[in-house]
Amino acid sequence: MLMRLLLFAGTNVAVILVLSIVVNLLGLDDYLMQSQGLNITGLLIFSAVFGMAGSFISLLLSKTMAIRSVGAHVIKQPSGPTESWLLDAVAEHARKAGIGMPDVAIFESPDPNAFATGANRNAALVAVSTGLLQRMDRQEVDAVLGHEVAHIANGDMVTMTLLQGVTNTFVIFLSRVIGYVVDRVVFRTERGVGPGFLITSLVMQVLLGILATMIVMWFSRWREFRADAGGARFAGREAMISALATLGGTREPPHLPGEVQTLGIYGRVGAGLQRLFMSHPPIEERIEALRRAA
């Protein structure tokens, strides 16, 4: 469990490390070093470009990637009463939330789960698993749909992207600033960059990247509480509590591919340090939060 969470946290770090190695091979780090020292303005611009670009590309492709990763079927014309009801329920929640009608999709999975994604709150996607439709009654499914529509209305996908981009930017920026200081003070490199800069910046990217992941996961947990409140507002508090209780009664947390793992309504939980890397709070805490709000 701990290894899986650390691997998840390390995915974003690995992306930054690959970019860093490419940058060093291209000699861009040398360009960022002025004869008098570090080119702070150039480094900040460079960090922002590399830090934000990947996050926003992922956001723009999020709907397509999510549909492909789970093999979801987007409902264009309902083929039965269940699909018709799903479209009507999402449309009603979207009307209450004041957003455009999202695409609605169903994906094959025995696990009860659902997610929402998309770069535009008026052109998003809500997807539910066949396991969710089979294990929950319509009131509970309706609450889950309200939860997902609340994510869209709250702009959570865009906010997560901005947060990820900003933390990436500071990881790249601070790791190089620290690398420069160590290279000058400890390794006493006088011009350009030495091995101390490369080694230190790479090590700091790993450490700062893990810290950045903790920050992003903290926000991810907080947004789940807010989406639960939205689901309760749209579909009823007791229905939302009942839906969460049904999810909590599953033997194992529902599985989703890595591309959409943090988007699901329910994720894996842990104890101790593992909690820092959890994308979702424990079901018991979510239910308690809804009861306290009542």
The answer to whether the CB of 218 falls within 8 A of the CB of 275 is: no
Residue of 93, 141, 140 lying closest to 121 (CA atoms) = 93
The answer to whether the CB of 126 falls within 8 A of the CB of 142 is: no
Paired sense of beta strands 114-117 and 103-107, if any: unpaired
3-state secondary structure 10-64: HHHHHHHHHHHHHHHHHCHHHHCEECCEECHHHHHHHHHHHHHHHHHHHHHCHHH
The answer to whether the CB of 31 falls within 8 A of the CB of 43 is: no
φ, ψ for residue 240, nearest 5 deg: -70, -40
CA dihedral in degrees (229, 232, 233, 238; nearest 10)? -140
**What positions carry a catalytic annotation?**
148
d(CA 162, CA 56): 8
Tokens of 40: 């702070």
The answer to whether the CB of 255 falls within 8 A of the CB of 111 is: yes
